[in-house]
Amino acid sequence: MAATVIGLDQALDATRTGDLWLFRGRTAVDRAIQMGTNSPVNHVGMAVVLDDLPPLMWHAELGRSLPDMWSGTHQRGAQLHDLRDAVGAWAHRYGQKAWFRQLDHPVDAEAEDAVLRTIARLDGTPFPSTTQLVTRWVAGRVPSFLRRGSAADAEAELERAYCAEIVAITYEAMGILAPGRRPSWFDPGKFWSGDSLELLGGATLGKEIAVDVPPLVAGVRASSGAAAPRS
């Protein structure tokens, strides 16, 4: 795991649209996701930093304890959260370690528009069960010439999406991830530096930087609708 550690405030100041935030937990569900997808982490989200808005995180999870900044409601599935609140929730409520990776690539207005269009299209997409998650991850690795179904079957996958799919779809929309993979081919570990992504246009991702999250994070709200995270 990464040796570099910085504080949450410093990480929030440094993060930009397209940066990755990764999380690793120790619950049974976390371990199931890590083992089922052969991944060192169990959750990934993407930073969205626009104009004067606070940094946001675009991801997917089972919980609905934080308000979705796009819809204004508490919902499960694909969500856009205040990044500080989201990191605080994952670190303290869910007991996860946090890292972030910086994207070394300019994000212009066209790419930002692609991010917003993707959020508008996918926000609120339901989250699959852990069994569905692992099954779809395995199916995503079946060679295309052996895979049954049509292009419509791949599009139907978007009816439910987990965190790595959300990030992969958004990266592809931004023009920095090579097309051709089904969303279900991606798992959180694909966004860890031990793996490799086919990034385009000279884009690269930096090494993981561990984030030291303070004991109390302002703005994190408890909710009776909170649930153990799955991603």
Domain boundaries, the chain: 5-212
**Distance, CA of 53 to CA of 16 (rounded, Å):** 12
**Distance, CA of 158 to CA of 206 (rounded, Å):** 29
Rg (CA), the chain: 16
What torsion do the CA atoms of 79, 84, 90, 93 make, to the nearest 10 degrees?
-110
Quote the Cα angle for 128-130-133, to 5°.
Answer: 60
| Class of 5-212 in CATH | alpha beta
Q: Supply the pLDDT for residue 38.
A: 67
Q: Residue 38 region, left (φ>0) first, then alpha (ψ -120 to 50), else beta?
A: left
What torsion do the CA atoms of 1, 82, 223, 21 make, to the nearest 10 degrees?
-20
CB 183 within 8 A of CB 168: yes
Beta strands 97-101 and 43-48 are unpaired
Q: What is the pLDDT along the chain (231 residues), one digit of tens a residue?
A: 456 899 999 999 999 999 999 999 877 677 777 676 667 898 999 999 999 899 999 999 988 889 999 999 999 999 999 999 999 999 999 999 999 999 999 999 999 999 999 999 999 998 764 444 445 444 444 444 334 443 334 444 445 678 999 999 999 999 999 988 888 889 899 999 876 788 999 999 999 999 999 986 444 444 433 444 556
